[in-house]
Structure 1
Amino acid sequence: MSDVLLAPANARAPRTVDDTGLPFLFLIELVSKVLHQRGQLRLAELASHLKLNVSVIDPLVVFLRAEKLCEIARVGNSGTDADLSYILTDAGRARAANAAARNAYAGPAPVTLASYTAQVKEQSVAAMQVTRGAMAAAFGGIVVNPLVLDQLGAAMNSGRAIFLHGLAGSGKTYLAERLRDLLVGTIAVPYALMVDGEVIPFFDAVQHVAADEESSIGSGLDRGSAPDARWVRGVRRPAALAGGELTLDMLDLRFDAHTRLYQAPPHLKSNNGIFIIDDLGRQRCTPEALMNRWIVPMDRSVDYLTLHTGHSFQIPFDVIVVFSSNFVPQRLSDGAFLRRLGYKIEVPAASLGEYAALFRQACASAGVEFDGAAFDYLLARHEERQVPLLACYPRDLMRQLRDLARYEERTPELSPRTIDWAWDNYFAAGAAGRPLETERRDRGTVEYNNA
């Protein structure tokens, strides 16, 4: 039995076609598509492109030559087979074009679904441990309600879904994005997956950020006990964010009929990490439809995707899904879904002490000297207009003051006059601010004590 399935990303690089776990004829077509796309190549260049050893590539090229699908284009000076260059014949180009018409993928050799499933299990996000010290380090210098911080820390250890809710501007999205700093350790990610003869490109240079550079096999030499190069190792655990643009079809496997390539859904690329759905309830699909899509994956840790051929397959779902919403949970879904949410965490308005700390930070960032009397004046405006102390206000109001000072060609200052100007300019409802009753009505029937 090949060791590919035992410890996929750390297993020795395959030395034979059988070791790859991929069908011989599939690899023949893949080599043909690479030669069709790139033209004349040496064995070492093919090996580097496909992330396979020369010992795997050689019998494939021998077969192509025997079938008169490729030929030697140039002989180097070394006198060895490694210096031979290969190019497709007319028959080879026709066969490669036919293969590309079905699936145009011509990148590194894929790994099997079984290998990927085993690797995801081995590097599960649920195996992480987040401590209070780690939380303090990740959120150092950030003003956060201590209770919320403890809830988030415990929730990250569960590996289950998290629902952050609270008033708009309370800092939910900011907190959700900072959770990526708690993702410890690195993972291995395949360049591509093979499922039922179809290739799904997987590695995403934007979402899968390598902590260190992967070693190359460009020399074309067998590398002994070197690990399987079809995996990118040392990748930071992924953290993806989707907002109001998210639609149900984006969560399915998509096949572009023009390019003949698959696109893996964002939550699949987020395996062994976190996937943040921001502003839940504002998507073009209904919250109920979106949440129903997640019931099976969150409950069984597997998802089901469908190829364009109609073949459905099971894939591991090892993701901490973080929902962020201005709506209370009961407004968005029924009990069946809510039970599957491991943690439902309210992000409340800031306390007076937290708001003062946030305001001082905002002043320092905007280059405005803090003035206690002016801050007390601002608090009076909040109380008079019944506007909660939300985390976003200090920063946004200070930006207004900074913009005014630049316009008037003076140093920014904090005073009742400038606060009135910023307040009246910032709140869309005018000096009264946004009526709190409207905010409550938008969020649902459940009201919050801090609101």
Structure 2
Amino acid sequence: MRAEKLCEVSRRGGSNTDADLTFTLTDTGRVRATEFLSRSAYAGPAPVTVQNYCAQIDAQSVAHMHVLREDIGREFEGIVVSPQVLDRFGAAMNSSRAIFIHGPAGSGKTFLAECLAGLLKGDIWVPYAILVDGEVVQVYDPAVHHQAVNEVANASLLDKRDAPDPRWVRCKRPAVLTGGELTLDMLELQFDPGTRYYQAPPHLKANNGIFIIDDLGRQRCSPTELMNRWIVPLDRRMDHLALHTGHKFMVPFDVIVVFSCNVAPDQLGDGAFLRRLGYKIEISAQTEQEYERIFRQACERYGVPYSHDAFQYLLRERHGKEGKPLLACYPRDLVSQVRDLARYEGRPAELNRQALDWAWANYFTER
């Protein structure tokens, strides 16, 4: 830099050693710095090439992760869900294909989808950024990527060396959850004209992990538009992205995509899309035995003593006569209101017919 007259020595320390030399930019150096900052203001670990990124994603693919029956049992311990549904979840997680969870609102689809994230195994390497055609795309996101325990990693980085490559950070497999806020534009690179670099879209940040799209159909784009965006990535496991310069490139789509929706899949997409959904799992209403277990759990959670007579009254006089299905969300919502009323009145909570009628009227807006 001194030879190119980009910097100069401005002050020399008392010891006259190289360690005490202080450099400042020359006018030429400032012009060069301004030129580089106008191209990109990214500051951080050096980005890796998109080719190295693709190779590393392939080396730690979710396809290499195996979920066993005991993993399912451990993750869903204490959760009331039928064994048949758990078996389907276990097989689906081993397929690395898309999962479509459907059923009525309040059946517990979102909760179960989030539990699937707990089945992710192993640590992965995530780059801080990648370099594409001279442009920087920031990938690492502390809100998504949680660093693994700080220890010497024996996982396989492509660049073998004694110490881990500082351009990569060792993380747990990511889990990204999006809902009604999702738009088609969010699935593309986000260019910041101020900093002149890109933020990766959520499914790129979710690579080697799980990407949950909750409440499919409530997005600002239609389900058909959203599904059309996923047809090629779900089939070929690759996605096409474009820079603002027009340069297009491919990145791996190594993600277990989980769709959660209140309607059946055949009401949302055509055959071409439905074929790309590896597993279509229905979460229906609970049986009476399952519903009672959930109700007992809700009573324990909110400190309301359980009453078998009151519960039978709820089944017979409310659910039975009014035709309300036994959905997993009702016990929590009804029992919490019983608790709220007792707190307001300054008395111990009691599960009885009057309290349940009061909570039911509030919940289902009865007059």
Report the TM range for the smaller structure's normalisation: over 0.9
- State the match for 1:89 in structure 2: 26
88-97 or 369-378, which deviates more: 88-97
Which whole-Å deviations, capped at 9, do the CAs of 1:265-285 have from their partners, x for residues lacking one? 000000000000000011010
> Which of the residues 377, 383, 388 maps onto 2:320?
383
Find the aligned partners of 1:121 and 1:200 in 2 and give their Cα distance.
Answer: 19
Query: Partner amino acid for 1:358?
Result: I
Q: Which runs of 5+ in 1 are unaligned?
A: 1-63, 216-223, 432-451
- State the match for 2:60 in structure 1: 123
- State the match for 2:306 in structure 1: 370
Structure 2 counterparts to residues 273-422 of structure 1, below 5 A: 273-380=209-316, 381-422=318-359
- State the match for 2:85 in structure 1: 148
- Between the aligned residues of both structures, percent identity stands at 63
CA contact (8 A) 1:113 1:195 kept: yes
Which whole-Å deviations, capped at 9, do the CAs of 1:321-372 have from their partners, x for residues lacking one? 0000001101111010000000000011111111000000000001000000
Find the aligned partners of 2:2 and 2:332 in 1 and give their Cα distance.
Answer: 68
> Which of the residues 210, 219, 238 maps onto 2:147?
210
By how many angstroms is 1:202 displaced?
Answer: 1.1
By how many angstroms is 1:73 displaced?
Answer: 5.0
By how many angstroms is 1:261 displaced?
Answer: 2.5
SS at match of 2:249: strand
Find the aligned partners of 1:324 and 1:68 in 2 and give their Cα distance.
Answer: 60
- State the match for 1:423 in structure 2: 360
SS at match of 2:5: coil
> Which of the residues 260, 271, 293 maps onto 2:207?
271
> Which of the residues 88, 91, 100 maps onto 2:37?
100
SS at match of 2:186: helix
- State the match for 2:157 in structure 1: none
Query: Partner amino acid for 2:169?
Result: V
Query: Partner amino acid for 1:170?
Result: S
Aligned residues: 359
- State the match for 2:155 in structure 1: none
Query: Partner amino acid for 1:186?
Result: D
By how many angstroms is 1:225 displaced?
Answer: 2.7
By how many angstroms is 1:292 displaced?
Answer: 0.5
254-263 or 372-381, which deviates more: 254-263
CA contact (8 A) 1:70 1:89 kept: yes
> Which of the residues 166, 174, 177 maps onto 1:241?
177
By how many angstroms is 1:80 displaced?
Answer: 6.5
SS at match of 1:341: coil
Find the aligned partners of 2:12 and 2:319 in 1 and give their Cα distance.
Answer: 81
Find the aligned partners of 1:298 and 1:408 in 2 and give their Cα distance.
Answer: 55
Change (3 A) 1:409 1:298: same
Query: Partner amino acid for 1:110?
Result: P
By how many angstroms is 1:373 displaced?
Answer: 0.2
Which whole-Å deviations, capped at 9, do the CAs of 1:181-225 have from their partners, x for residues lacking one? 10000000001100001011111111000022378xxxxxxxx73
Query: Partner amino acid for 2:150?
Result: E
Query: Partner amino acid for 1:404?
Result: L
Find the aligned partners of 2:15 and 2:313 in 1 and give their Cα distance.
Answer: 83
User: 2:90 aligned with 1:168, yes or no?
Assistant: no
Query: Partner amino acid for 1:93?
Result: R
CA contact (8 A) 1:210 1:236 kept: yes
SS at match of 1:259: coil
CA contact (8 A) 2:99 2:277 kept: yes
CA contact (8 A) 1:164 1:324 kept: yes
Change (3 A) 1:81 1:170: farther
- State the match for 1:434 in structure 2: none
- State the match for 1:182 in structure 2: 119
Change (3 A) 1:363 1:89: same
SS at match of 2:81: coil
User: 2:8 aligned with 1:67, yes or no?
Assistant: no
More helix by share: 1
SS at match of 2:245: coil
Structure 2 counterparts to residues 13-52 of structure 1, below 5 A: none
Find the aligned partners of 1:83 and 1:176 in 2 and give their Cα distance.
Answer: 58
Q: Which runs of 5+ in 2 are unaligned?
A: 153-160
User: 2:215 aligned with 1:253, yes or no?
Assistant: no
Find the aligned partners of 2:202 and 2:20 in 1 and give their Cα distance.
Answer: 41
Query: Partner amino acid for 2:87?
Result: D
Query: Partner amino acid for 1:248?
Result: L
Find the aligned partners of 2:175 and 2:220 in 1 and give their Cα distance.
Answer: 23
By how many angstroms is 1:256 displaced?
Answer: 1.6
Find the aligned partners of 1:282 and 1:156 in 2 and give their Cα distance.
Answer: 25
Change (3 A) 1:165 1:409: same
- State the match for 1:55 in structure 2: none
- TM-score, structure 1 length as denominator? 0.77
Find the aligned partners of 1:84 and 1:144 in 2 and give their Cα distance.
Answer: 68
CA contact (8 A) 1:214 1:232 kept: no
Change (3 A) 1:82 1:321: farther
Change (3 A) 1:351 1:104: same
319-328 or 103-112, which deviates more: 103-112
